[in-house]
Chains A and B, each alone.
Chain A
Amino acid sequence: MTSKEKIQQEIGQTLQSLDGLKRAEANPFLFTRIKARMDRKANVWERTFSFISKPAIAVAIVVVVMAVNGWALWDKSGPGTVETVTSENVSELANEYNVVASVDNYDYDNMTNE
């Protein structure tokens, strides 16, 4: 038998090596471990919620949110900082970049794949 034939024989035997394989068995304590993980996960959320729901923390969060909102409103009502975008700006931009500003001109029923 040549070495090429021997190699082909090896390959054939290797491909058959999983025939009759038995299913690997999971850890018998898998459920206990899953349960422990789920409890840990639940505990993290419980701890987070119990921390947030402490009166001092809850009041502090509300104060911070109100302060941020107040600051945002005050900032917006200040001297005009925002430049308004008019339709002229948009059409100027569209012309400059050769963009079709409207899609109304498309005929979807007769479109070709050109």
Chain B
Amino acid sequence: MINERELIEQLKQGDETAFKTIVEQWKDMVYNTILGIVQNETEAEDLAQDVFIKVFEKINTFKGDSKFSTWLYRISTTTALDHLRSKKRKKRFGFLQSLGGDSDEKDSIPDFHHPGVSLDNKERAAVLFKAIGALPENQKTAYTLHKLEGLSYRDVSEVLNTSVSAVESLMSRANQNLRKQLEEYYNKHYK
């Protein structure tokens, strides 16, 4: 079986077979990361395509200083966050949003169901995903990489280009914010 370094070298030469192997090998990782951030399956698939097109076009800028997967995670999280930002901008100036306001959305019933969640946790996970969606960008990214992709704090720190202690702090603040949001949610909806 061909190793990672050879694959990357072949991709740098524009080899389509190498590109196909890379897509097949890392597509679930990229898709799952993006899905956790954008929380929409159709958008996540389009963005996963964007990520791999960027990989094909920018592979020559990959110097091998970090792991290939770290580089892929960086492109995936940046692409997903850029998408959310542009969506937010469009929404902010949207006509419907001006009528509805933000508060309605905050109180609405969670509607995103991650396909990897077990059936008995489905409703709870949907509530949690809604709270994750409201986290600040860097907390959302750290939380998604750690909880959904199972990355260690060290790996998350490499993706975010920061220290392990900074990731610990991000995770702690993310957990505090999630608790706060969940408390508000259950105070309103708990019977």
A48 touches B (CB below 8 Å): no
Q: How many A-B residue pairs have CB under 8 A?
A: 94
B88 touches A (CB below 8 Å): no
Contact A10 B186 (CB under 8 A): yes
Please name all residues of chain A whose beta carbon is closer than 8 Å to the beta carbon of B30 when the two chains form the complex: 26
B175 to chain A: closest residue by CB: A15
B71 touches A (CB below 8 Å): no
Tell me, rounded to whole Å, the shortest Cβ–Cβ distance linking A6 to chain B: 7
Task: Give bound CA distance, A31 to B65, whole Å.
Answer: 27
A25 touches B (CB below 8 Å): yes
Please name all residues of chain A whose beta carbon is closer than 8 Å to the beta carbon of B190 when the two chains form the complex: 3, 6-7, 10
Please name all residues of chain A whose beta carbon is closer than 8 Å to the beta carbon of B118 when the two chains form the complex: 20
Task: Give bound CA distance, A56 to B23, whole Å.
Answer: 43
Please name all residues of chain B whose beta carbon is closer than 8 Å to the beta carbon of A72 when the two chains form the complex: none
Please name all residues of chain B whose beta carbon is closer than 8 Å to the beta carbon of A27 when the two chains form the complex: 31, 45
Tell me, rounded to whole Å, the shortest Cβ–Cβ distance linking B8 to chain A: 17
Among A15, A17, A20, A30, the residue within 8 A (CB) of B45 is A30
Please name all residues of chain B whose beta carbon is closer than 8 Å to the beta carbon of A25 when the two chains form the complex: 28, 31, 115
Please name all residues of chain A whose beta carbon is closer than 8 Å to the beta carbon of B125 when the two chains form the complex: 14, 17-18, 21
In this complex, how many residues of chain B approach chain A with their Cβ under 8 Å: the count is: 38
Please name all residues of chain B whose beta carbon is closer than 8 Å to the beta carbon of A38 when the two chains form the complex: 53, 56
In this complex, how many residues of chain A approach chain B with their Cβ under 8 Å: the count is: 25
Please name all residues of chain B whose beta carbon is closer than 8 Å to the beta carbon of A20 when the two chains form the complex: 118
Task: Give bound CA distance, A51 to B24, whole Å.
Answer: 36
Please name all residues of chain B whose beta carbon is closer than 8 Å to the beta carbon of A76 when the two chains form the complex: none
B84 touches A (CB below 8 Å): no
A47 touches B (CB below 8 Å): no
Please name all residues of chain B whose beta carbon is closer than 8 Å to the beta carbon of A15 when the two chains form the complex: 128, 175, 178-179, 182
Contact B35 A24 (CB under 8 A): yes
Interface string of A22-57 (1 = CB under 8 A from B): 111111001101100110010000000000000000
Q: A10-B190, A18-B148 are in contact. Are A26 and B28 (CB under 8 A)?
A: yes
Tell me, rounded to whole Å, the shortest Cβ–Cβ distance linking A35 to chain B: 8
Q: A18-B147, A33-B49 are in contact. Are A23 and B28 (CB under 8 A)?
A: yes
Task: Give bound CA distance, A31 to B179, whole Å.
Answer: 39
In chain B, positions 131-185 with a C-beta closer than 8 Å to chain A are 147-149, 175, 178-179, 182-183
Q: A17-B128, A18-B148, A21-B148 are in contact. Are A30 and B48 (CB under 8 A)?
A: yes
Provide a sorted-by-A list of 28 A–B residue pairs whose CB atoms are within 8 angstroms: A3-B190, A6-B190, A10-B186, A14-B182, A15-B178, A15-B179, A17-B117, A17-B124, A17-B125, A17-B128, A18-B147, A18-B148, A21-B125, A23-B148, A24-B44, A24-B115, A24-B116, A25-B28, A25-B115, A26-B32, A30-B31, A30-B48, A30-B49, A31-B23, A31-B27, A34-B52, A38-B56, A41-B53
